[in-house]
Amino acid sequence: MKLGPIMMDVSGFTLTETEKTNLDKPSIGGVILFTRNYQDIHQIRKLIGEIRMINPDLLIAVDHEGGRVQRFREGFTHLPAMAKLGQVYDKYPEHAVEQAFSCGWILAAELLAIDVDFSFTPVLDLDYGKSLAIGDRAFHSNPEVVIELAGSLIKGLHEAGMKCVGKHFPGHGHVEIDSHIDLPIDERSMNEIEYDILCFKGLINKGLDAVMPAHVLYPQVDDKPSSFSSIWIKEILKTQSGFGGIVFTDDLSMQGAHFIKNITERVYLSLESGCDMALICNHPELVTEVIDLDWPNSEKLQLMKGIKPQEFNKMVLNHHINNIQSLF
């Protein structure tokens, strides 16, 4: 099954008639859910069921990392910010690695149980202590620790049946500005940025299924932000680093993406640069501008489908929940 390259969002607890029409368009390959779409477990199952009735092959995703970025809360296990795992690692590394696995398993098992395919996680940015957007979402300041903890979290995701998305390539942690608000500019040389890229390179052969580039400009390397840069995506990520997985844009309605004024040009350039799927969130009018255009469809995107277990294993879930209690 080929999927369209655009991931859209929906406005509330149920689908509008316009959303039902749009979800059936060939250009739409996925839906991203937000807190505004979640009332309780019963309601979110019903909403996802509505989406599946229109097109069962659509990818359904959510930003569900833990800490302050956890879209569904009531009825779900509260997951810690990943920085908590880094703090534990500095004293008890083996225990932190076990807890990272538990976080990944819980996250995946609970989302798969409501028929969400994947979460945009883990964050692989380094903690330089300066990024407003990243902060405690990062595991650590040391790439080796990030690789070990994120790698264990990915193993937990995979064991439960979920794929992962590492973000934000090549690294968002060194810039203060939040790319939701403006375009951050990272003036470092390629040699310096290589330190951040180690996190991604170290996980490519350890289960990294997908990558999300940053809406950050690195002028020492290219004159385009990495989401729109064939140098970053095709040359550095794919050719030099050997990544063969899927590439998602970050939300193309974010201010960091306004480097290119026109939404059609944003989608075109991101796909041309090597991205497989373009996210457009919180601005349905922008989706309307691109939804009926002729975009290339891809079978590759189906690799991100979640594997839903035949029955939910509460005993295993409770084991993993107990394993992370000391993080709070």
CA-to-CA distance for 196 and 215, rounded, in angstroms?
15
Q: Which of 250, 251, 276, 320 is catalytic?
A: 250
Question: Measured between alpha carbons, how far is residue 64 from residues 33, 96, 103, 325 in Å?
Answer: 10, 20, 11, 18
Amino acid at 247: V
Give the pair of three-digit tokens for residue 84.
């908590």
CA-to-CA distance for 237 and 204, rounded, in angstroms?
10
Query: By the 8 A CB rule, do 216 and 168 touch?
Result: yes
Q: Which of 158, 180, 258, 283 is catalytic?
A: 180
Tell me if residue 250 is catalytic.
yes
Tell me if residue 178 is catalytic.
no
Q: Where are the beta strands (DSSP E) in the chain?
A: 6-9, 28-33, 59-62, 64-66, 69-70, 118-119, 165-169, 210-213, 246-251, 277-279
Residues 6+ apart with CB under 8 A from 269: 224, 228, 260
Catalytically active residues, by annotation: 180, 250
